[in-house]
Amino acid sequence: MPLKKIEAVIRPEKLNDVKKALDKIGVGGLTVVPVYGRGRQGGIKILFRGGKLQLDLLPKVKIEVVVRERQVEDAVKAIVEAAKTGEEGDGKIFILPVEDAVRIRTGERGENVL
């Protein structure tokens, strides 16, 4: 069965909600990486010591999970529902094909490594 990699860039404060949502649908294995980025909003302006400061790269969290193709829609739905605030900067989800996967400890390949 084909595998897919889901990369979600979300607000850091939504990480625990997303982890719980993925656990609830049986997706337990994930990788989390702190990242900085910006989208359409182009960053934020804040007042700092009497002047305006433009922060154009905002802290985000990138979550990476590999799932069976049949789990993609459930995983995407879980991430969206858990990460959504309705404000700009909620993030993005990218879905990519995975050609193969290997469990280093045993050498198993394919969906068995999940």
CA distance linking residue 96 with residue 17, whole number of Å: 23
Average pLDDT across the chain, whole number:
91
Ordered domains of the chain (ranges, CATH):
3-113 (3.30.70.120)
- pLDDT, residue 67, reads 97
* Angstrom distances, CA of residue 70 to CA of 2, 63, 76: 9, 19, 11
Q: What is the pTM of this model?
A: 0.86
Residue of 93, 68, 69 whose CA lies nearest to 83: 93
Please say if the pLDDT value at position 48 is more than 70: no
Write the pLDDT tens digit of every residue in 30-46: 999 999 888 776 666 66
Instruction: Indicate the pLDDT class of residue 88, thresholds 50, 70 and 90.
Output: confident
